Structure formats: C-alpha cells, structure tokens
Structure 1
Amino acid sequence: MNIIERGLRRIDRLQQRHALLGVPFATVRKFGDDQAGTQAVLLAYYGFFALFPLLLLLTTILGWLLPGHPGLQNRILNSALANFPIIGTQLRGDVHALRGNLLAVIVGIAGLLYGAQGVGQAAQSAMNTVWNVPFRDRPNFFSRRLRGYAWLAVLGLATLISTVVAGFGAQVFPGALGWLWSQSVPFAINLGVFTVIFRVLVAAPLRWRDVRIGVLLAAVFWQGLQIGGGFYVSRTLNHASDVYGFFAIVIGLLSWLYLAAELTLFAAEVNVVIRDRLWPRSLLQPPLTPADRVVLARLTRMAIRRPELDVSVRFTDDAPALTRNPGPPGDPDSTGDPGSSPGAG
C-alpha cells in the first residue's frame, strides 16, 4: 500500500468503529448508490413546472371557498408563496384565479391537476428508490396517482392551517414572541407534512419510529432553506437589473428546488440507514463490510419487476457469508441463504 492508501485505510477503520462517523458516511454512500442526486433533479424539474399550475389551482379554490374575504385569500396565497422565497415576491401580483363558466373552470382544474401530478409521481419514485422497494411491489398506475393527489392535498391543507394559526399568533403575541410563533408554527406543521411524505409515498409499511429522525432533519433543512432563500432575495435579487434579475430568479428557483429535493432525500436515506443498520460501510474495497453486501443485494433485488421472477445474490470473495440480508420493508426475499456456497449468481 502506498502512503495515500494507508491514510485512507486508517480513516476507514476509524469511521467503521464509531457510529457518529459511520452513520453519516454510510448515508452519503447509500445516497450515491441509489443515484438519489438524479432523483432530486427529476423532483426539481417536475416541481418547477408544477408550481404555477398549483398556484392557479389554489387561487381558484380560494375564490370559491372565500368569495367575500379577499384579505384572507391574499393571506393564504402569500403564505403559500412564502414557501418559495426565491420567486414568491415576483408571483404575488401575477397569479389569478381561473375565470369563465362552470365547464371551463372544471376543465381548467382538471388540466392543472394533470399537470401538477408529475411532481407526486417523481416523489414516489424517489422515495421507493431510497427504500429500494422492488418494482414488482410498487403501486400500480391508479394507486400512484391517488397517493400523489393525497400528498398534494396534505400540502394544501398544511398551508391553510399554517396561515390561520400563524396569523392568529401574530395578533396575540406582538414583537419577539410573534416572530417566534411565526417560526415555530410552520416548523411544527412541517414535521407533520414530512411524516406523511416519508410514510405515504413509500410502498411499504413504515412506522413513526422508522422515520422520526429523518422527519426532524427534513423539517430543519426546510426551515433553513426558507431563511436562506429570503436572505438571498433581499441581498441579491432585489438589486439585480430587469434582465439579469429574470435569469437569476429562474436559476435561483431551480437551484433552490434541487437543493430542497436533495436534502429531503438525504433525510430519507438517514431513516433507511438507521432503521436497517446499514453501517458501517467501507471506504475502500476489498473487503466488503456486511452492510456493503446488504446494500448491494438490495440494489440487485430492486430490479425485480414480475412476481414470476426470483433473484438470488451471492458474493465471490472470501468474506464470511451473511447470516441476515434484510431487504426493503415487506420484501419476501429479505433473508439471505447462509447455506449457499460462494459463486456467481
């Protein structure tokens, strides 16, 4: 071994001995193994194109539900736009409700729902990939869309509750207490939203304790992104020229959505690593750690698309055979075959 490899081996042994280092490293490794960065790109892409249809849908529904309360309509819309600090201020005056006869509005809403459901499908694909759910166990066409619309309904309800509760607190608690209330209420609501996301969008039975750490991390990440986005707008975009500001808004929004998707998926990966004890992972191979083998086996089984298909995984090196090879939740092939001899499989 050269001096660089010896140094890396020492670091590898250190992180494998200590969970405080091993869990973050294993999470980063699994994030790369699952190609979660690619999933985050798809989420940002569909999220970008779903944003305007969702805002149109929200303003149309508010116009129906609160026809005599324009002030409350504006408060709810501003609350929804506050979740997107990069572009929210620019959209406040450009988003209007659908107009026309009843048939035209119904057709328009149907088109908006169809256009917005892409982000729900991308989110389900990403979460199932993070949990390595085999394709044969994933929801069918209709179930996927039902889950996607349920997720959008949860987001809309959370926005409404956040607006009402935060507005009430701002009137009751002036000054610093009002600011604290306005920060803590959205954070608490985000905890509930991410709990739904991390459980409903995965085609496997998960309990609260399986996702609680990732839920907390995701809520912290989201709160930080909103604060950071507001800082970016106030310090950069507000002083940009019209042309430069337009491109800065588009690039800034896409970057913000991508970073939000990446951090959310990273929080989900933390859930998987901790729940299934997918650490320690090796920095250099060989040898493979037991957790390395489990992850590689899960990635192989994830490609199973038909009930008639069965896949066995064996390793050809001299490392001890696994006695336990957990797959994704609900996977019938989640136990290994300790009696199998090493060989190509």
Structure 2
Amino acid sequence: MNPVERFLRVVDRAQQHHTPLAVPVGVMKKYGDDRGGLLAALITYYGFVALVPLLLLLSTALGFVLHGHPDAQQAVVDSALSDFPIIGDQLRQNVHSVQGSGPALVVGVLGLLYGALGIAQVLQHAMAEVWNVRGVERPGYWPRLVRSLLLFAALAAGLLLATAAAALVGTALSGLFARIGALVLSAVLNAALLLVCFRILTPADVPTRALTPGCAVAGPLFTLLQAFGAVLVTHQLRHATAVYGFFATVIGLLSWLYLAAQITVCAAETNVVLHRRLWPRSLLQPPLTGADEEVLEAVARQEERRPEQRVDVVFTDEVEDKDEDKDEDDAAGPDRRGRTRHGAGGSGP
C-alpha cells in the first residue's frame, strides 16, 4: 500500500466513524451513483427552453393589457431594461414598444407548454431516479401529466404568495430590517414551496416528513442563489460591452439554472440518504459498506421494466484477480460476468 492510499484509508475510516462527516459523503456518493449531474443538466435545458416563450408570452399579454397606452408600454420596456441592462441593449434594436398580437400569443403559449411540460416531466424522472423507483412501478403519461398540472398550480400560488409577502415586508419595515426580513421570509417561503413541489413529484409511498430535511437546507440556498444572481447581472455585467454582455448573460443564466438544478437534486438526495440511513459510504473499495451494497442493489433493481422481469444482485466477499475472473467468466457464460446478475422471464429468480 503506497503512502497516498494509506492516507486516504485513514481519512475514509475517520469519516465512516463520524456521522457529521459520513452523511455529506453519503449524499455526494448517492449523487454520483444516480448521475445527478446529468439529471441537473436535463432540468437546466428545459428550464432555459421555457424562459424564452415565457418572456414572449408575458410581453404579448402586457401588449393586450396596455393596448392604447404607449407611455405605459414604454415604461414597462424601460423598467425591464434598467433591471437587465445588457439584455436591454440588444432588445432596443428590435423592440420599440410592447406589442400584443394573436400569433405571438399562440407561439408563446405553445412554446411555454413545451418547455414547462418538459421540465415537469424531467423533474418527475429525476425524483424517480433519486428514489430508485423500479421502472415497472413508475406512473404512465396521464398520471405524470396530472402531477405536472399540480406542480404548475403550486408554483403559481407560490409566486403570488412570495410577491404579496415581499410587498408586506416592504410596507411594514424599512432600510436594513426590510432587507433582512425579506431574505428570511424568502428562505422560509422557498423551503415551503420546495416541500410542496417535492410532495407532488415524489412517489406517494414516501412519507412527507422524509422530504423535510432537504427542503429546509435548499430553501436558504435558493435565496442566496437568487441574491447572488441579481448581483451578478446588475453589477458585474452592467459595464460590459453589448455583444460580450449579451453572451455573458446567457452563459450566466445557464450557470444559474444549473446551480439551481443541482441544489434541487442534492436536496432530494439528502432526503433519500437520511430516510434510508445510507451512511457510512466507503471512499475506497474494497471493502463495501452495508450502505454501499444497499445503494448499488437499488440502482440495479430500478432497471426492472416489465412485471415478468426480475433483477437479482449478488456481492462477493473478495475481489478476484482480473485475469482469473475474466477466464472464469468466459467459461461460465454471461451469468457470471460482473457482480450483478440479471434474470428475465417467468422461470423464477
């Protein structure tokens, strides 16, 4: 054993014997086992796709509402430009006032439905992957569509509640106290909204109390991310050139969405690890811990796609030499290749 491996073994044993260290390691390992980065990337893609038609839809709706009031239309455009100065420089070249038209409204609605339904479906898929739900037990299209509509209703209600709460804080308080109160209230509302959304997206057999820890952590993180994103756009990109600022804002928006998606997935992973007590995990294998074997078995069994399909998982006590293991696999056939044995059909386990 070389000095580096010896040091890592010492670190591994230390984290396994201390729960405050073992739980974060368990979440990190579970995130990797479930390919959390890919799940976050899918959520980011559909979130970005939904933003453009949402902007078009809101602009068109404002055009209908403010029809015949050019001063009010220009005020809306100017206010948007002051909040997003880099994007505003690009919009000035194409948008002279907020206009409302039927075709634009139809395109906006269709695009928004595509992006919104896509991100709702991906979120449900992500939760099923995180909780290792077997393919045969996952809901069909229509139940997923109902959950998507419930998710949209919850998000809309949360947006209205957050707007009203922010206005109430601004009215009751002023100065530094208003800022602190707004941040605290935002963290609480974000955590509550996440809990409602997780309850909609997560399988029904998971108790609601199991969803609370991750939401309690992710709520304040979302608040910090929102504050940091506002600072990034309004301060760091304000004096950038028009072309550079536009591309920088797009990349910054994608990065912001990806961080938000990672927080969501990590919150769900935290719930799973705490609910199933999936710690301690080993940093170096062998040997595998009991939590390692439980996670690997769940990941394998979630590949069951048909009622007549059965997946069995077998763990050996020792790691055999690769050359000897390959020779034995070639002689024994496909059932011995790997440490996971798959069986299909109705002939038994």
TM-score under structure 1 length normalisation: 0.80
Structure 1, 309-318 or 89-98: larger mean CA deviation: 89-98
Structure 2: give runs of 5+ residues left out of the alignment.
320-338, 343-349
Partner residue of 2:20?
Answer: 20
Partner residue of 1:323?
Answer: none
Q: Which amino acid aligns with 2:291?
A: A
Output the CA distance in 2 between the equivalents of 1:91 and 1:290.
56
Q: Which amino acid aligns with 2:28?
A: V
Partner residue of 1:35?
Answer: 35
Output the CA distance in 2 between the equivalents of 1:167 and 1:264.
27
Structure 1, 134-143 or 244-253: larger mean CA deviation: 134-143
Q: Do the aligned residues in 2 keep the contact of 1:59 with 1:96 (CA within 8 Å)?
A: no
Output the CA distance in 1 between the equivalents of 2:65 and 2:195.
28
Q: Which amino acid aligns with 2:125?
A: S
Output the CA distance in 2 between the equivalents of 1:7 and 1:113.
53
Q: CA deviation at 1:302?
A: 0.9
Give the share of equivalent positions with the same residue, in percent: 43
Which protein is bigger by CA-based radius of gyration? 2
Q: Do the aligned residues in 2 keep the contact of 1:169 with 1:182 (CA within 8 Å)?
A: yes
The answer to whether structure 1 residue 288 and structure 2 residue 295 are counterparts is: no
> How has the CA–CA distance of structure 1 residues 2 and 197 changed in structure 2, closer, same or farther, with 3 Å as cutoff?
same
Task: Please list, as runs of the form range in 1=range in 2, the aligned pairs for 1:221-300 lying within 5 A after superposition.
Answer: 221-300=221-300
Task: Please list, as runs of the form range in 1=range in 2, the aligned pairs for 1:303-342 lying within 5 A after superposition.
Answer: 303-317=303-317
Partner residue of 2:139?
Answer: 139
Structure 1, 86-95 or 172-181: larger mean CA deviation: 86-95
TM-score under structure 2 length normalisation: 0.79
Q: CA deviation at 1:293?
A: 0.4
1:312 alignment partner, SS class:
strand
Q: CA deviation at 1:12?
A: 0.9
Partner residue of 2:176?
Answer: 176
Q: CA deviation at 1:176?
A: 2.4
Output the CA distance in 1 between the equivalents of 2:228 and 2:32.
26
Q: Do the aligned residues in 1 keep the contact of 2:121 with 2:144 (CA within 8 Å)?
A: yes
Output the CA distance in 1 between the equivalents of 2:65 and 2:278.
48
Q: CA deviation at 1:134?
A: 1.3
Cα deviations by residue, 1:180-237 (Å, 9 ceiling, x for unpaired): 3322222222112110222211234222320111001111211111121122223321
1:279 alignment partner, SS class:
coil
Q: Do the aligned residues in 2 keep the contact of 1:170 with 1:178 (CA within 8 Å)?
A: yes
Q: CA deviation at 1:126?
A: 1.2
Q: Do the aligned residues in 1 keep the contact of 2:169 with 2:178 (CA within 8 Å)?
A: yes
Output the CA distance in 2 between the equivalents of 1:28 and 1:123.
19
1:310 alignment partner, SS class:
strand
> How has the CA–CA distance of structure 1 residues 100 and 24 changed in structure 2, closer, same or farther, with 3 Å as cutoff?
same
1:311 alignment partner, SS class:
strand
**Count of residues in Structure 1 that have an aligned counterpart in Structure 2:** 315
Q: CA deviation at 1:131?
A: 1.0
Q: CA deviation at 1:86?
A: 10
Q: CA deviation at 1:34?
A: 0.5
